Amino acid sequence: MTVPVPTSPPRAHPAGPPPRFEVAVVGAGAAGLAAALALARDGVETALVGRHAPVADGRTVALLDGSVRFLRVLGAWDEIAPHAAPLAELQIVDDTGSLFRPPPARFSASEIGLDAFGWNVESARLVETLRRQARTTPGLTLFEADSAGMHRADGAAALALEDGRSLEARLVVGADGGRSPLRTAASLRTREWSYPQAALTTLLAHDRPHRDISTEFHTRNGPFTLVPLPGGHRSSLVWVTAERAAKRLSDLDDAALAAAVEHQARSMLGAMRIDGPRGLVPMRGLSVANPVAERLALIGEAAHVFPPIGAQGLNLGLRDAAALRDAVFSAREANRDPGAPASLAGFARTRSMDARLRGTAVDWLNRSLLTGLLPVDALRGLGLVALGAIPPLRRFVMREGVQPRLGAPQLMR
């Protein structure tokens, strides 16, 4: 697959020929920042292209074990840790009203020898911390402008920036999010779909302590999840429900929304108060057949999008970032061009498989809630009962969900 060559070349760099880098990462979200830091810290001349575009939408991310290891290596974890809450236990409550409703299931991180399944932190804080780290990392050059397109150059790819500058790199990493302009320009085969749902996000203060337990209510319209934040009496909310209902909820004033959340949570955490910004995200899915084209590799949501179930999205994106760093390093050790198809083949294979596995599981669970078909309810219920009753199976599923060891990138081991 080749990147189409546009009719007009990029504008000349104001101060002479465009600077050339080994790798240029486009997109300064969490996945792009992590990839750029991972490459630069080990001496790869790297450019990071993208404006800082903070979003205040009350969204948090539960960072699983491998992601925390990665952030630690990148030198960012010490700054994030005081603002992250451990998820020591996960609780799933079937609230579908189905005939085959299993009892609530509890999973404890201590069963697999961990203090926590993961750590929950506000997305905006994570990005801000990585951004600060990027500003002081030697070998990492920041271009605080959006990319306007990618073109073929001699032995490299040329990037035109919206502010008129340009640069070249042997490999371009597309970390430019779910609507990735680089993915579109490269005509990578993409499958997109939508769900009749939206996710309402916000931060909550509550009377009763969460005791580091994350609770997911599986409702007929999607999962309603409360995830602990530091301090014991704050949590983040991800309420996936029917599109119209989500819009209605998001239009409520703070007191009415807090009451609705408390009702849905069966007052498990006592009285609630809205304690942060809100967001409303339509539920969609996206996958690419192959995340790689000539001199281009996609990571994060540029390559895969799915509903926020089981904290998989950014954890997958960080695995992409760490795996990409490994691919560039292998190419370097073998004196190969990092942008050549052969250098990216292994990355493409393992990342496609990981994204397909996670994406399929999340899609199945989400759709199984929506169908209302008894056999599907029975299957989902049986699955939960089996996990509760068979400890080795439970431990296997927990380990695979938190720290998939097979093919884990080096900086996550």
Which positions touch ligand FAD (CB under 6 A)? 26-32, 49-50, 53, 59, 61-62, 123, 146-147, 175-177, 181, 199, 201, 238, 281, 300-301, 308, 311-315, 317
276 versus 313: smaller Cβ distance to ligand FAD: 313
The identity of residue 70, as a single letter, is: F
35 versus 327: smaller Cβ distance to ligand FAD: 35
Assess contact for 256 and 133: CB atoms under 8 A: no
CB of 10 to ligand FAD, least distance (A): 14
SS3 state of residue 271: coil
For residue 217, list its beta bridge partners: 93, 224
CB of 100 to ligand FAD, least distance (A): 28
CB of 199 to ligand FAD, least distance (A): 4
In a 10 Å sphere around its CB, with 0-12 CB exposed, 13-18 middle and 19+ buried, how is residue 176 labelled? buried
CB of 376 to ligand FAD, least distance (A): 24
CB of 4 to ligand FAD, least distance (A): 16
CB of 390 to ligand FAD, least distance (A): 27
98 versus 221: smaller Cβ distance to ligand FAD: 221
105 versus 281: smaller Cβ distance to ligand FAD: 281
CB of 23 to ligand FAD, least distance (A): 15
| DSSP code, position 178 | T
N-terminal to C-terminal alpha carbon distance within the chain:
32
Residue closest to 62 by CA, chosen among 299, 305, 401, 410: 401
Rounded to whole angstroms, how far apart are CA atoms 376 and 366?
Answer: 11
Other residues' Cβ atoms within 10 Å of the Cβ of residue 392? 7
| Residue the block writes with tokens 């399929």 | 360
| Residue the block writes with tokens 């690419």 | 288
71 versus 199: smaller Cβ distance to ligand FAD: 199
Pairing of strands 118-122, 234-242: unpaired
Determine the distance from the C-alpha atom of residue 178 to the mean position of all C-alpha atoms in its chain, rounded to a whole number.
11
For residue 259, list its beta bridge partners: none
137 versus 315: smaller Cβ distance to ligand FAD: 315
Helices (H) and strands (E) in the chain, counts: 11, 20
| DSSP code, position 189 | -
377 versus 408: smaller Cβ distance to ligand FAD: 408
348 versus 362: smaller Cβ distance to ligand FAD: 362
CB of 64 to ligand FAD, least distance (A): 7
80 versus 238: smaller Cβ distance to ligand FAD: 238
Pairing of strands 89-94, 234-242: unpaired
Residue 270: partners with Cβ closer than 8 Å, 6 or more residues away: 206, 207, 208, 262
Assess contact for 225 and 214: CB atoms under 8 A: yes
Rounded to whole angstroms, how far apart are CA atoms 363 and 406?
Answer: 22
CB of 152 to ligand FAD, least distance (A): 18
